[in-house]
Amino acid sequence: MDISWHYWLFLLTTIFHIITSFQEKKSLIPPGEIINVDENNIHLYIKGKGEITVVLDHSLGGVEGYFLIDEIAKLTRVCICDRPGYGWSEPSGKSRCSEAIVAEWDLLLTEANIEPPYILVGDSFGSYNMRLYTHKFPDKVKGLILTDGLHEAGMLNMPLAVKAVKYLFISGFIMSIFGSLLGIIRLMGTVGLFELVKPELKQFSPQQRQWVKRSFYSHNHWITMARELINLDRSGRQLKVANNFKDLPVISIKSNSFFKPSIFTAILPLKMINKLRNKIHYYLSLLSSNYTEISASNSSHFVWIDEPEIVVKAIAKMLEFLQK
């Protein structure tokens, strides 16, 4: 009899997830448009007006652009997309590495008639993709902004303990695939556990949070996260060609610490992770002779959530410089 209530709890949670997912597909309309790119439907959200377009690429597993698109749209035109497998975009059978993602981005922007010049903004893993795009299409890019970006000089040479954290995350993503299929992730989001773990989420509107949470409830989201992380070293090797942008304006936002110390991060080698992060930011500083670093002194790696105003100010600063 002890097992009985666990069984019914899982069953009810899964039924709730299936019914709610079906209702969302009918009622929750994507804010942007669905564009077919190379036989794959990708969701692109465009807002605002301006001669320069800000192109946002999310972190690994993130869809954080929804949190800031309204504020950035007050400055100029901005577009974000759900990379294949996230949000409203279909999963892709192609490799989830930077080369493939950059090719998708350029096809998407062309298909949507989003003409350059661009300011590229890459968050975490998105910094890989935006750096590689800048290398491949230098005439289209007028400025590059990285928010706690990555650099292959550090990422391909992780200490063993930090590699263990990476594999821990991969295993967590794989477990979350089953958690999302069973509806456990949706239940956690519905009862407000996301906001309990990350109280800074409360500063964003319920609609913005719902757009983001909706992606995390899908098993495709977690499968894509695992695929991108498994391919992270491959992406890093692809980035070795993207290290000399001459005098291109580059702004890099550096967090205070990769993780904020808490009960959730107590078992992690935080000092070692931060030492690696400092090495990464040193190499990022060599990307351009026109490089500026901005400190996000109250942020963890999740700058977009901890101090979103810094990201908006960096974009405003880049626009001001380019429009002189």
Contact 76, 53 (CB under 8 A): yes
Residue with tokens 């989201």: 221
Higher-pLDDT residue of 68, 184: 68
**For 190-206, how does the pLDDT look when each residue is reduced to its tens digit (9 = 90+)?**
889 899 989 999 999 99
Q: Comparing C-alpha atoms, which of 187, 230, 148, 141 is closest to residue 20? A: 187
pTM to 2 decimal places:
0.91
Of 1-5, 63-67, 107-111, 237-241, the one with minimum mean pLDDT is: 1-5
* Model pLDDT for residues 20-63, shown as the tens digit of each residue: 665 666 566 899 999 999 889 999 999 999 999 999 999 998 89
Q: What average pLDDT does the chain have?
A: 90
CB within 8 A of 111, min separation 6: which ones? 35, 36, 37
Whether pLDDT at 323 is above 60: yes
Number of Cβ within 10 Å of residue 320's Cβ equals 10
**CATH assignment of 29-322, given 3.40.630.30, 3.40.50.1820, 1.20.1250.20, 3.30.565.10?**
3.40.50.1820
Model confidence pLDDT, tens digit, residues 261-296: 777 676 778 888 889 999 999 999 999 999 999 999
The answer, yes or no, to whether the previous bond of 269 is cis (omega within 30 of 0) is no
Provide the pLDDT confidence category of residue 1 given band limits of 50, 70 and 90. very low
With a cut of 70, say whether residue 89 has pLDDT above it. yes
In angstroms, rounded to a whole number, what is the distance separating the alpha carbons of residues 311 and 140?
A: 22
Q: DSSP alpha helices (H): ranges in 28-91?
A: 65-72
Q: How confident is the model at residue 180 (pLDDT cuts 50, 70, 90)?
A: confident
Alpha helices, H only, the chain:
2-27, 65-72, 98-111, 125-136, 152-155, 160-181, 184-190, 193-197, 206-216, 219-230, 232-238, 270-284, 303-306, 308-322
pLDDT-derived band at 3, boundaries 50, 70, 90: low
- The pLDDT value recorded for residue 242 is 97
pLDDT tens by residue, 99-125: 999 999 999 999 999 999 999 999 999
Interval 216-243 mean pLDDT: 95
pLDDT for 247 beyond 60:
yes
